[in-house]
């Protein structure tokens, strides 16, 4: 199978996303020449992706730092430790940081690259499906705070992204399904034809069929690249906000669990997309057929569709979740900004939703 290249057209910050089997072996040849010629590479990874990181470090002659896995690593404490590691090992403005791992490594590594020496070059090597189709593309970097997820960070575009579908062969089935939720998101928010393809081929993706999984990753990256090129910094009212479909609910769920790993990000997103669709139907914005199709597909691929399907704190109620949603970074002076839908592939931004309607949908899901 031929590898695919998705271009992200951002002027002097443009870069390519390399997708396919074995692209991990082509990193040094595929990097822009000015980056490949760097004399100092730093490879950041976690325990789950360490074998791949050592392969990358061997190819570029870099040194490696291995982090503990899990969302708790995306913190100020680990941000400081990584920066100290870079400084202790002679980082300079010409250095390159390569993040090899899932979204946690990519987000933390990207934020470190954005801020050390006021910014150094950064390469994403995502090793989870979720990171390949979402967090590695678009330049969002950051860490979590006690008040919520990704509240401190920066926009810092990578110079290249390498999505090797071979590394997904070792990904646990639950992690693969969680990543698949972000693929479904692209169909639901803006591509009804792709969602229909997923209805017929989603099981092939989850059984790691090479052709199906490459097509799903490539299509997802194309959608994100197009949106990022149009609205790089998620300006108010911009199209990039659509990528948060389901995430206002999802971030509140993750925050309520204390990022302890009991709920994976993609699982929270699946429930969040279901809640956003149900809220849309309650507001008479979309048909119940939209709700039915969305729920049916998520259930077929064994993703959660209600809050009851997840291991949430027993004390959690709808008011507690709503309070956490108000603290989301997408909220503004006018309140929570929801991504709602008029149908499959027809997401849009909506403010001014009555709390009563939100609480009703949350209560039903609980």
* Rounded average pLDDT over 112-117: 98
Q: Which of 50, 218, 232, 234 is catalytic?
A: 234
Domains, the chain, ranges and CATH? 4-170 (3.40.50.1970), 173-365 (1.20.1090.10)
Feature table: binding site for Zn(2+): 182, 247, 265
Tell me, yes or no, if 118 is annotated catalytic. Answer: yes
- How large is the angle between the packed helices 318-326 and 247-256, nearest 10 degrees? 110
In the beta sheet, which residues pair with residue 8?
A: 15
* Rounded average pLDDT over 100-112: 97
Task: Express as a percent the part of the chain with pLDDT over 90.
Answer: 86
Q: Which of 239, 247, 297, 324 is catalytic?
A: 247
Q: For 319-332, how does the pLDDT look when each residue is reduced to its tens digit (9 = 90+)?
A: 999 999 987 666 66
Q: For 71-89, how does the pLDDT look when each residue is reduced to its tens digit (9 = 90+)?
A: 899 999 999 999 999 999 9
Tell me, yes or no, if 265 is annotated catalytic. Answer: yes
Q: For 42-64, how does the pLDDT look when each residue is reduced to its tens digit (9 = 90+)?
A: 999 999 999 999 999 999 999 99
Q: For 267-317, how does the pLDDT look when each residue is reduced to its tens digit (9 = 90+)?
A: 999 999 999 999 999 999 999 999 999 999 999 999 999 999 998 888 889
Query: What is the reported pLDDT for 332?
Result: 60
Task: Report the chain's mean pLDDT, rounded to a whole number.
Answer: 94
Feature table: binding site for NAD(+): 103-107, 127-128, 140, 149
Its pTM stands at 0.93
Whole-angstrom distance, CA of residue 183 vs CA of residue 212 = 12
Tell me, yes or no, if 356 is annotated catalytic. Answer: no
Does position 149 have pLDDT exceeding 90, yes or no? no
């Amino acid at each position: 199978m031929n590898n695919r290249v998705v271009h992200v057209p951002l002027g002097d910050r443009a870069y390519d996303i390399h997708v396919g089997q074995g692209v991990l072996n082509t990193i040094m040849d595929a990097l822009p020449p000015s980056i490949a010629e760097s004399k100092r590479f730093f490879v950041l990874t976690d325990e789950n992706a360490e074998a791949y990181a050592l392969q990358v470090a061997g190819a570029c002659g870099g040194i490696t730092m291995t982090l503990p896995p899990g969302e708790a690593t995306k913190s100020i404490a680990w941000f400081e430790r990584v920066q100290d590691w870079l400084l202790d090992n002679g980082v300079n403005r010409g250095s390159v940081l390569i993040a090899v791992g899932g979204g946690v490594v990519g987000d933390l590594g990207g934020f470190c690259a954005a801020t050390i020496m006021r910014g150094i070059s950064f390469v994403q090597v995502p090793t989870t499906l979720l990171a390949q189709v979402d967090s590695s593309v678009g330049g969002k970097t950051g860490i979590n705070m006690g008040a919520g997820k990704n509240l401190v960070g920066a926009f810092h575009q990578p110079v290249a992204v390498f999505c090797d579908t071979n590394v997904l062969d070792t990904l646990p089935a639950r992690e693969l399904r969680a990543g698949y939720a972000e693929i479904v998101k692209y169909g639901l928010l803006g591509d009804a034809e792709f969602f229909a393809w997923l209805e017929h081929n989603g099981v092939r993706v989850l059984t790691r069929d090479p052709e199906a999984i490459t097509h799903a990753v490539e299509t997802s990256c194309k959608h994100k690249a197009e949106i990022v090129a149009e609205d790089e910094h998620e300006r108010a009212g911009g199209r990039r906000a659509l990528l948060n479909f389901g995430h206002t609910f999802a971030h509140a769920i993750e925050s309520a669990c204390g990022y302890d790993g009991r709920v994976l990000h993609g699982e929270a997103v699946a429930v969040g997309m279901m809640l956003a669709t149900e809220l849309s139907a309650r507001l008479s914005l979309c048909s119940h057929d939209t709700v039915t199709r969305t729920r049916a597909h998520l259930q077929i691929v064994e993703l959660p569709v209600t809050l009851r399907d997840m291991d949430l704190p027993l004390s959690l109620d709808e008011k507690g979740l709503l309070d956490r949603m108000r603290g989301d970074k997408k909220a503004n002076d006018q309140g929570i900004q929801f991504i709602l839908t008029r149908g499959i592939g027809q997401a849009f931004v909506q403010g001014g939703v009555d709390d009563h309607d939100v609480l009703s949908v949350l209560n039903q899901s609980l």
